């Protein structure tokens, strides 16, 4: 299922419209200086919901970043959603990052499962298993990949637009998380990480990891 967007994500239209309307009304009724804080809020809301197009890297083995942000975890651990040992790479998104989520791989969705939970700081490792989250298990040529949208301290809404049985392509938009969050990707153990802790990544454009062979791509 394709998920087309203009430059500003449709999830943000009501927020952008409300912020701009309030700014215009206060400007008209009370003047520019009184409305200045509202214009600043409007500018923040517009930048938060930007959703620019992204080009895929020219690398058949590339597993791409599912979100903009900073790498906060690279570790071998249990994948509780696909019931296996996996390589987990986590991307933390702050409120200034683009929050559209994109598929890291080509494949078909096996399951989509929502888990209610807490809203602790998504920068913390415990957020992966304690926070509200939505997990996609994807079957690929190279094995199973799990992508988990995790709500954060400020985020209160995880949005997902795909279902079990849907096909995904690398870089395809599949969801959105409002106002700060995290995305965890669980990969087969033989996947080769292409990022390091603390590195800033860009959804679709950044190679997160590579399949061990061309056959996995």
* pLDDT (tens digit per residue) in 171-194: 999 998 876 688 999 999 999 999
- Please tell me the total count of domains within the chain: 2
99 and 22, same domain (yes or no): no
Could you tell me the pTM of the whole model?
A: 0.83
Give the Å distances, CA to CA, from 49 to 67, 89, 92, 96, 176: 13, 24, 17, 9, 10
Backbone phi, psi, residue 28, to 5°: -70, -35
117 and 177, same domain (yes or no): yes
Whether 181 is catalytic is yes
* Res 2 pLDDT > 50: no
44 and 74, same domain (yes or no): no
User: Torsion over CA of 18, 23, 26 and 27, rounded to 10 degrees?
Assistant: -150
Catalytic residue among 42, 181, 202, 213: 181
Tell me if 187 sits within 8 A of 89, measured CB to CB: yes
CATH number, position 112: 2.70.70
159 and 80, same domain (yes or no): yes
* Res 202 pLDDT > 80: yes
Structural domain of 28: 10-48
72 and 19, same domain (yes or no): no
44 and 68, same domain (yes or no): no
**Helical H segments across the chain, by residue range:** 13-30, 32-48, 127-130
118 and 31, same domain (yes or no): no
60: which residues sit within 8 A by CB, 6+ positions away? 214, 217
CA-based radius of gyration for the chain: 18
Band of pLDDT at residue 214, cut at 50, 70 and 90: low
42 and 149, same domain (yes or no): no
Tell whether 56 is covered by a domain: no
């Amino acid at each position: 299922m394709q998920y087309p967007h203009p430059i500003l994500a449709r999830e943000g239209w009501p927020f952008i419209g409300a912020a701009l309307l309030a700014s215009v009304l206060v400007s008209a009724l009370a003047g520019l200086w009184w409305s200045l804080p509202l214009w600043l809020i409007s500018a923040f809301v517009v930048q938060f919901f930007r959703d620019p197009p992204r080009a895929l890297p020219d690398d058949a083995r590339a597993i791409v970043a599912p979100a903009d942000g900073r790498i906060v975890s690279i570790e071998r651990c249990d994948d509780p959603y696909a019931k296996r040992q996996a390589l987990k790479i986590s991307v933390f998104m702050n409120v200034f990052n683009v929050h559209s989520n994109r598929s890291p791989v080509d494949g078909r969705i096996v399951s989509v499962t929502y888990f209610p939970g807490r809203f602790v700081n998504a920068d913390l490792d415990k957020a992966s298993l304690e926070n509200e989250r939505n997990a996609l298990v994807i079957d690929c040529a190279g094995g199973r990949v799990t992508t988990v949208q995790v709500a954060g301290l400020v985020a209160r809404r995880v949005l997902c637009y795909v279902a079990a049985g849907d096909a995904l392509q690398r870089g395809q938009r599949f969801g959105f998380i409002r106002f700060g969050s995290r995305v965890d990707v669980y990969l087969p153990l033989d996947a080769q990480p292409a990022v390091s802790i603390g590195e800033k990544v860009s959804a679709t454009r950044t190679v997160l990891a590579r399949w061990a062979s061309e056959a996995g791509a």
